[in-house]
Amino acid sequence: MIRIAMLGSGRVGQVHAASIASQAGAELALVVDPIEAAASALGAKYGVKYSLDVQDAFEDASIDAVVVGTPTNTHTEMLERAVAAGKKVLLEKPIDLDLARIDATWARIADKAPFVMLGFNRRFDPSFREVRERVAKGEIGVLRAARITSRDPQPPPAAYLAVSGGMFKDMTIHDFDMARFQAGDIVEVSAMVSTNGLEAFEQAKDHAQAIVTMRAASGALVTIVNSRSCAYGYDQRLEAFGDAGSLEAGNWTATTVRAASATQTEAAGPILNFFLERYMPAFKNEMAEFIAAINEDRAPAVGFADGRAALLLAEAAQRSVQTGSVVKL
């Protein structure tokens, strides 16, 4: 039985706790959060202890692994301390907003053969994964283009915008990883953005929507279509286009009901909204991979280098916006 401590009991911490509870072969051992009400509530829900201090997780020899769901600016510290304590780590994205800090962290932990899995949960979404696997099996021939549609239902609050690191590092980071997951290494990045004329984004010097075009080392072209708001919900789609055909992964609705009336036909309900609903199976599969990799004593399917690479793409996209030019990597 792998015993896991959950660091952070916010939204994503609650998701991971539920995922751990659903896994045979693993159990939640401790919940840590400096906010006692949050820590105790999540601990109580699963009948486990809580603590206000992460050191309790690192010092507990019965704990095998930690899931880091603390604020982004604490990620590298948590990672370093966890590795030093000999814990396996599932680290939420992004590793950090600053590439230099990321590299410094890695320099400090690299010789400890750290077990670090990055929380790019979408790689474990059954539909996106199926696309990847069918492409890998050659069903559509050589992959020529991939298209990622990723729109959030509504923008984060202005306070969050100010510290988010910007759309590319905060939201598109998932799509950059998906681009790499589907098409492999990326060698060129170009981006065009808009604030939609909204003051919140202009003040934050951030983007309300973006189109990012990339060239993969394989030659495939990848497009990301982003929007910080979407009236019909959390739009998460993927198209892989190859010489022999295409594969498209669409959105999920809560039921299969379709309505016909005097004015329209085949109307489906709203799509699943938001990431907790849409990606719950992905979060569970992600946790299963974390546990399986630990049990099988192997590297997890997505690692520190993937987290770094996604951030690199986010920075390249931002640079392309500033220079108006393609950025080569």
Query: Within positions 152 to 191, which residues make up the interface with its own copies, using CB under 8 A?
Result: 188, 190
Which DSSP string corresponds to 4-46?
A: EEEE--SHHHHHHHHHHHT-TTEEEEEEE-SSHHHHHHHHHHH
- By CB under 8 A, the residues from 307 to 326 that bind its own copies are 323-326
Give the span between the Cα atoms of 105 and 115, in whole angstroms: 14
Binder of its own copies out of 246, 289, 312, 319 (CB under 8 A): 246
Strand, helix or coil at 167? helix
CB of 150 to its own copies, least distance (A): 12
State which residue, 55 or 323, has the beta carbon closest to its own copies.
323
Give the residues across from 209 on adjacent strands. 194, 227
Site for its own copies in 29-88 (CB under 8 A): none
Smallest separation (angstroms) from its own copies to the CB of 252: 6
Size of the site for its own copies (CB under 8 A): 73
Structure tokens at 321: 């916006």
Please report how close the Cβ of residue 257 comes to its own copies at its closest, in angstroms. 5
Q: How far apart (Å, rounded) are the C-alpha atoms in residues 309 and 262? A: 51
- Binding segment toward its own copies, per CB under 8 A, in 2-10, 98-106, 174-182, 237-245: 237-245
* Candidate residues 53, 250, 295, 322; the one interacting with its own copies per rule CB under 8 A: 250
Residues constituting the chain: 329
Using CA atoms, how far apart are residues 202 and 156, in angstroms rounded to an integer? 14
Residue with tokens 């990012």: 212
CB atoms within 10 A of CB 295: 11
Smallest gap from Cβ 112 to its own copies, in A, equals: 37
Are the CB atoms for 116 and 201 separated by under 8 Å? no
Site for its own copies in 263-292 (CB under 8 A): 263-271
Q: Determine which residue in the list 58, 241, 279, 283 makes contact with its own copies, applying CB under 8 A.
A: 241
Contact region with its own copies (CB under 8 A), list: 1-9, 25-33, 174-182, 248-256: 248-256
Residues between 195 and 234 with contacts to its own copies, criterion CB under 8 A: 196-197, 208-211, 213-215, 219-221, 223, 225, 227, 229-233
Tokens representing 299? 């590297």
Calculate the alpha carbon distances from 312 to 10, 91, 182, 301 in Å.
27, 17, 17, 19
Task: Determine if 262 is a binding residue for its own copies (CB under 8 A).
Answer: yes
Per-residue binding letters, 115-144, with its own copies (x by CB under 8 A): -----------xx--xx--x----xxxx-x
Min dist. Cβ of residue 310 to its own copies (A): 20
**Which position among 254, 274, 295, 322 is part of the footprint of its own copies (CB under 8 A)?**
254
The angle that helices 172-183 and 304-323 make with each other, rounded to 10 degrees, is: 110
* Residue placing its CB nearer to its own copies in the complex, 66 or 247: 247
23 contacts its own copies (rule: CB under 8 A): no
3 state SS of 168: helix
